[in-house]
Amino acid sequence: MSDIGRLRAARDSVLLWFAPARVQDEGTTPDYRFSLANERTFLAWIRTALALIGGGFAVDQFLTDHLTHWARLVLSLGLLAAGVACTLRAVNHWVRCERAMRLGTNLPVSRFPAALAVVVAVLAIAMVTVVLAGWAG
């Protein structure tokens, strides 16, 4: 597929985020239990995103005496960025799974959960390092 074809496919996918009724035009209606399970998964991703965003704000607002400005900035922006990515990925994954179920194809695979886990682990290690350095200093 050409670059223009990939861009069009990405654009069409994003447009489906805001017009989920168009998804219903494809394939056949899956068992409602599967659609509801897909929605619960979406909501779990949104809860994860909210926790990451809340953690980003908490680091920025409440660790003012314990961390340097740059450490707070890097950690809070990392958590906020992970929350934004998780939010966008949630809706993208929901649409892709709904389409796959309607078309009777395999559910889409994703590296995003592993990437998110690595980002959160790196941020957690950075936070532990900064906290330990603050206690030692």
Long-range Cβ contact pairs of 77-82 (< 8 A, separation 24 or more): 78/119, 78/122, 78/123, 78/126, 79/52, 79/53, 79/55, 79/123, 80/52, 80/53, 80/56, 82/52, 82/116, 82/119, 82/120, 82/123
Query: Contact, 98 vs 42, CB < 8 A?
Result: no
Segments forming the whole domain that contains residue 109:
3-136
Q: Which tokens in the block code for residue 68?
A: 């340097």
Longest distance between any two alpha carbons in the chain, whole Å: 63
Task: Give 18-68 pLDDT, tens digit per residue.
Answer: 877 787 888 888 888 998 999 999 999 999 999 999 999 998 888 777 667
d(CA 129, CA 97): 39
Domain count of the fold of the chain: 1
Task: Give 103-132 pLDDT, tens digit per residue.
Answer: 999 998 889 889 989 988 998 898 888 777
Q: Which tokens in the block code for residue 116?
A: 């998110």
d(CA 112, CA 122): 15
